[in-house]
Structure 1
Amino acid sequence: MAIHTEEAGVRSGHTSVSNLGEESADAVGKPVSAPPSEGKDGDAKPARADGTETLEGHRHSVNKFAETVQAAQFVAPPDRGLRDIGEASFGTPPSRQETVHGPDDRIQISNTNVYPWRVHCSLLITAADNSTWIGTAWFIGPHTLMTAGHVVHIKNSGVPGRDGWVKRIQVMPGRNGASLPYGSVTSSNFRSVTGWTNSGDENYDYGAIILPTDLGNTTGWLGFGVYSDADLVASTGNISGYPGDKPSGTQWYDSRKIASVNSRKVYYDIDTAGGQSGSAVYRIVNGARYAVAIHAYGGATTNSGTRIVQAVYNNMAAWKA
């Protein structure tokens, strides 16, 4: 498999990596020179003034599993009991897995067929050794979804035949339990960067899934941008995804102010759990939604995601194109 530079933009076969790891330091922590990539929102509901989503009618207690799932043309495959893809690379919890801190503040989303919820996708991942796992991804364009690097490429599993690019991923936009309002698409076409695929460095833990269809034109997508340290720590972070500790294939949302940032990571006390690896960490600006990080890790007091700095933005823009 050929490895290309960021500038080349040429892929070889079904998977490719960008030679990310030597970008100049002056790209970090500064606003992008061009406007952020815009989302496509269709019938988006207005966000709240505090930078969080409007959630009328959704349940907010821990014991909230009685949501009615509407009949749909498509039915999801059974995945109860499948493990978070993060465990393939990092082992079983609590080793770097996503975490609920204190009371569980996550809210179940029931109207997953509307924007922005339909942008977030449940993933059924088949690794090289045919083991199956769950994860989350989100649309950034008609045929491109962002996710964590460890979703598309497994590192250091210790299991013979498991490491490397996964075989395929079934993508289910806006899934709500057994209901698939937009069906599903299976892809074997992935992207990541050498900082992850070669080194397993969590600072470079991001990747993409390229679909063989333009399903994103139906679901819409999130924008994304590069923001300064000051912008980020003044922002409210939003995360929605498919945690494995909740009923199979249900989508859950939480939000909270960004806690801190460094040159490659964004930290937040937003509740998540295994299965949400690859979720978007996004902010709302003037009613528009812009991703600022890719959720990937847990911690004792904060969870964290790979920050969208200039080099990450450039790869995302290339993968979107």
Structure 2
Amino acid sequence: MGDEMSSRYDRDICSDSPKLEVAAIQRMKVSEGEVGELLISEHVCSSDKLIVRGRQDAALVSKTAFGQSLLVPGHDRRSRVLDTSFDPWRKICALEITSKDGDSCIGTGWIAGPRLIITAGHCVFNDVYNGWMKSIDIIPGRDGESEPFGRYRSESFCSMERWTAAGDENYDIGAIILSEDLDSRLGWFSFGSYPESHLTAQMVNISGYPICVVGEEQMHHSNRICAVTDHKLYYDVDTEGGQSGSPIWLYPNGSNTPVVVGVHSNGAGRSLNANSGVRITSLLADKIAEWRSRQ
């Protein structure tokens, strides 16, 4: 969605019951994904070199300014993903969003089940656009004008009541429910909640469809998590409007399985020197699993 929303997100808002939430998130909980059926053996995926794994105390490359709208001219560290038909890039979707008033927006989502796309809450419900969106077109693995897995349209959306009723940024997460299964070659991401000790200084990947390329080219950057709160992740990763809803994923314990641990939502303001996303807590992991089970 547009950068005009970022001014609303200048702080981390505490839960009404932080003790209960903290107790819940200390337990690891992971829902398994699906690799998909697409097998490409002709060549190695060149975009694999963009991926980072493991932990690191220092940022890969520090920068002088942060925020969704604060990319420093000449210092954009993102790279275009050139092999979007490969895993996990094909599980990341460009979103073409139409509001009830007919306004057009862009966003990003990631596949979490056969009929489930997860995105930011403000991509499906937004007071600026009079509440729930009218429709969203989902284009998995979009690569410019190429749509290798076709596109899907949905008018069925879900979010958290704390987002739709109160605009609580800690619950800025949304779901797009499809009426038919996605292409079986795509598969879907694993996702899960991890205790803070597992997330601090963890190297993470964020890839999505920013406004700078009109939401048509997938852009990736990776770096470490700077800070973790009960509900948010903060990271030194370049993002931009349109990337709201992008998956924040890591590779636990040196595995080759990407696990989504957060949903990118906004810049965090200059004072925090970071961008931020909604942390998948135990509560949100259960909610995503519930959305996944809907047919």
TM-score range, shorter chain: 0.7 to 0.9
Find the residue that maps to 1:219 and give its secondary structure.
coil
Map of 2:119 onto structure 1: 147
- Residue identity in the other structure for 1:303: N
User: Is 272-281 or 245-254 further displaced after alignment?
Assistant: 245-254
Distance in 2 (alpha carbons) for counterparts of 1:248 and 1:320: 26
Map of 1:30 onto structure 2: 26
Map of 2:5 onto structure 1: none
The verdict on how the C-alpha distance between 1:154 and 1:31 changes in structure 2, with shifts beyond 3 A counting, is same
Q: 4+ runs of 1 displaced by more than 3 Å?
A: 20-23, 26-29, 42-50, 96-99
Distance in 1 (alpha carbons) for counterparts of 2:186 and 2:251: 18
After superposition, where does 1:161-240 map in structure 2 within 5 Å?
162-215=129-182, 217-240=184-207
Contact 2:112–2:190 (Cα < 8 Å) also in 1:
yes
Contact 2:159–2:174 (Cα < 8 Å) also in 1:
yes
The verdict on how the C-alpha distance between 1:166 and 1:21 changes in structure 2, with shifts beyond 3 A counting, is farther
Which of the pair is proportionally richer in helix?
2
The alpha carbon displacement at 1:254 in A equals: 0.6
The alpha carbon displacement at 1:25 in A equals: 2.5
The alpha carbon displacement at 1:99 in A equals: 4.4
Contact 2:52–2:205 (Cα < 8 Å) also in 1:
no
- Residue identity in the other structure for 1:109: V
**Structure 1 stretches lacking a partner, 5+ long:** 1-19, 53-95
User: Of the candidates 85, 93, 104, which is equivalent to residue 113 of structure 1?
Assistant: 85
Q: Normalising by structure 1, what TM-score?
A: 0.73
Contact 1:98–1:297 (Cα < 8 Å) also in 2:
no
Map of 1:39 onto structure 2: 33
Map of 1:243 onto structure 2: 210
Paired residues in the alignment total 253
Q: Normalising by structure 2, what TM-score?
A: 0.80
1:288 counterpart = 2:265: no
The verdict on how the C-alpha distance between 1:125 and 1:27 changes in structure 2, with shifts beyond 3 A counting, is farther
**Structure 2 stretches lacking a partner, 5+ long:** 1-14, 55-66
The alpha carbon displacement at 1:212 in A equals: 1.4
Find the residue that maps to 1:271 and give its secondary structure.
coil
The verdict on how the C-alpha distance between 1:99 and 1:278 changes in structure 2, with shifts beyond 3 A counting, is farther
Find the residue that maps to 1:225 and give its secondary structure.
strand
- Residue identity in the other structure for 1:292: V
Q: Alpha-carbon deviations, 1:60-107, whole Å to 9, x = none?
A: xxxxxxxxxxxxxxxxxxxxxxxxxxxxxxxxxxxx745436721101
Distance in 2 (alpha carbons) for counterparts of 1:261 and 1:22: 18
Find the residue that maps to 1:115 and give its secondary structure.
coil
Contact 1:99–1:303 (Cα < 8 Å) also in 2:
no
Percent identical residues: 38
Distance in 1 (alpha carbons) for counterparts of 2:231 and 2:78: 26
The verdict on how the C-alpha distance between 1:248 and 1:228 changes in structure 2, with shifts beyond 3 A counting, is closer
Contact 2:22–2:230 (Cα < 8 Å) also in 1:
no
Find the residue that maps to 1:138 and give its secondary structure.
strand
Map of 1:256 onto structure 2: 223
The verdict on how the C-alpha distance between 1:283 and 1:99 changes in structure 2, with shifts beyond 3 A counting, is farther
Find the residue that maps to 1:288 and give its secondary structure.
coil
The alpha carbon displacement at 1:211 in A equals: 1.0
Distance in 2 (alpha carbons) for counterparts of 1:104 and 1:47: 19
